[in-house]
Amino acid sequence: MAVRVFLVAENFSRHFRAGLWVVGLVLAGAGAQVVPAVMTPSAAREEIAALRIEIARHDALYHRQAAPEISDGDYDGLKRKLREWEQTYPEIAREVPAVAEVGDDRSGLFQTYRHRERMMSLEKAYTEAELRAFSARVEKAVGKRELAFVVEPKFDGLAVSVTFEQGRLVRAVTRGNGIEGDDVTGHVLAITGLPRTLRVPGQGAGAGVMPAVIEVRGEVYVPFAEFQRVNVEREAAGETRFANPRNLAAGTLRQLDASEVTRRGLAVVFYGIGACDPLTAYPTTQYGLHERIRAWGLPGVEEVWRAMGTDALWRAVQTVETARASFAFPTDGAVVKLDEMAWQREVGVGESAPRWAVAYKFASERAETRLRAITIQVGRTGVLTPVAELEPVTLAGSKVARATLHNRDEITRRDLRVGDFVYVEKAGEIIPALVGVNRARRPAEAVPFVFPTVCPACHTPVVQRAGEVAVRCPGAACPAQLRRRIEHFASKAGVDIEGLGPVRIEGLVERGVVKELADLYRLRREDVAALGKNVSKSAERLLGAIEASKRAELARVIYGLGIPQIGAVAAK
């Protein structure tokens, strides 16, 4: 029962989880434990081995394939659960072999390169209590109270270490296993806005100092605007969308064509230093480090928050969580760092993470609800996209009743059944994504979804091209495709025909007056007026807008035609 409480707790919001942690601890105090204290050694061995295998599988999906199956919160839940088991059964935990190196992002595609100084990861905190406990540990280690901290956004991308020798960029390496990583210099050089040489700071601390060798640490990420643009263009080209900005960043560094880095708008931000020679170039505070990074002319963290003592620290973290909605880049938490470097050294490092820093993870914008049905949308290129029709639920302040499922394989991979309880999450897209299934709540009557073999709009048998995940309707006269083509043509980015929305388009296509785009320019007053009652004025306006669209810029017309591979930029 206690284990069940823990598992269920991992699936709900952080605040709820915090409450159950208390329950767990109280129970532990009363003699009961989150992990059962009495278990046969073989059962404990099995549980620990199973958890390690499961975690290693998710590590590989996340780091090597850039295709995670579960959210960060669920992953951290698994790790936390493993730690509980290991602490309860330390002897058995030592007997069970480790599965694979945890958190290794080397892909095997690149030369590997050894970091001069190890790249560490961060311990995590999920609740106010955990953050306060971190602060108390640091205070104890330093032997002082009311310490100064710096709070930074936790960028959701891929860690890189960029080495400058005599001020010149010579190498960029991914975190890898922390000791050595992939040499992605060519890719990182293709990032717009990353200078190849460091500027010598003219004034302030470190003025005139140019380090002989320095490893600058940071994150390669994709800003939201670029993420949206890339996905719109991919959809137009009949390619699958990236699930979130992190996958786009990781996927781009994992393929060999460096020019894609520029095309897909990857960016970099720096927040740390590894090896540094001479040490006099190393700033004395974390806050100073941010200033130094900017003084060298590197892209730095635009806004960081300072806090003295635990209460102020908690307020600062909450401020970042609120400010997060307005960030142009993806974040999944706030990173708290002890400000004084001398104290950082005093507090020291653990096995894989420093003890002077912690990542406070934001409650993911996730909700659980029931999958009522799966419907199929036919896009303008004929791609059939499954859409999850949900029992309406509030997610990050707005009501959600639909979520994208991307493609047929995703339904099979998740073994998704109509009637299941599912998790939906905001993933940087306007429409939320379905990110998981709560198997424990699967009702007996849940039924597997049978993907259609014919187009739901025109009944033409569907096809799947070799090497593509997309299933398409090849029907040349498919009314669903036509409706979407008209929507695209008339859109703001296309020839911008005001008043030609989905309802009117449906009417025109249904009544057979528009069979192809050119028919829009053959419309007569009576065709439009027949769309509804008392619409003569708006019919006039629509005809006027169609007439005006003849003067649209040529690039908009070309874009509006929806030619494969021709997005707005190429059209121009």
As annotated, the active-site residues are 154
Residue 130 neighbours by CB under 8 Å, 6+ apart: 360
Q: Using CA atoms, how far apart are residues 187 and 189, in angstroms rounded to an integer?
A: 5
Q: Among 388, 324, 311, 412, which Cα is nearest to 362's?
A: 324
Residue nearest to ligand IVH (CB): 159
Q: Among 267, 221, 268, 269, which Cα is nearest to 248's?
A: 221
Whichever of 359 and 400 has its CB closer to ligand IVH, that residue is: 359
Whichever of 349 and 393 has its CB closer to ligand IVH, that residue is: 349
Terminal Cα-to-Cα distance of the chain (whole angstroms) = 62
At 255, list the tokens: 């393929």
| Cβ at position 255, least distance to ligand IVH in Å | 20
- Give contact residues for ligand IVH (rule: CB under 6 A): 120-122, 152, 154-155, 159, 175, 219, 271-272, 335, 354, 357, 359
Whichever of 181 and 560 has its CB closer to ligand IVH, that residue is: 181
At 249, list the tokens: 């960043």
Whichever of 179 and 503 has its CB closer to ligand IVH, that residue is: 179
- In the block, which residue shows the tokens 């028919």? 519
| Cβ at position 425, least distance to ligand IVH in Å | 19
The β-bridge relationship of strands 213-221 and 148-155 is: unpaired
Whichever of 344 and 385 has its CB closer to ligand IVH, that residue is: 344
3-state secondary structure of 520: helix
Give the other-Cβ count within 10 Å of 138's Cβ. 24
| Cβ at position 335, least distance to ligand IVH in Å | 4
Give the other-Cβ count within 10 Å of 189's Cβ. 15
Whichever of 359 and 513 has its CB closer to ligand IVH, that residue is: 359
At 115, list the tokens: 């970091």
Secondary structure letter of residue 201 according to DSSP = P
Secondary structure letter of residue 171 according to DSSP = E
| Cβ at position 439, least distance to ligand IVH in Å | 28
Q: Among 114, 116, 220, 106, which Cα is nearest to 159's?
A: 220
| Cβ at position 250, least distance to ligand IVH in Å | 11
| Cβ at position 293, least distance to ligand IVH in Å | 11
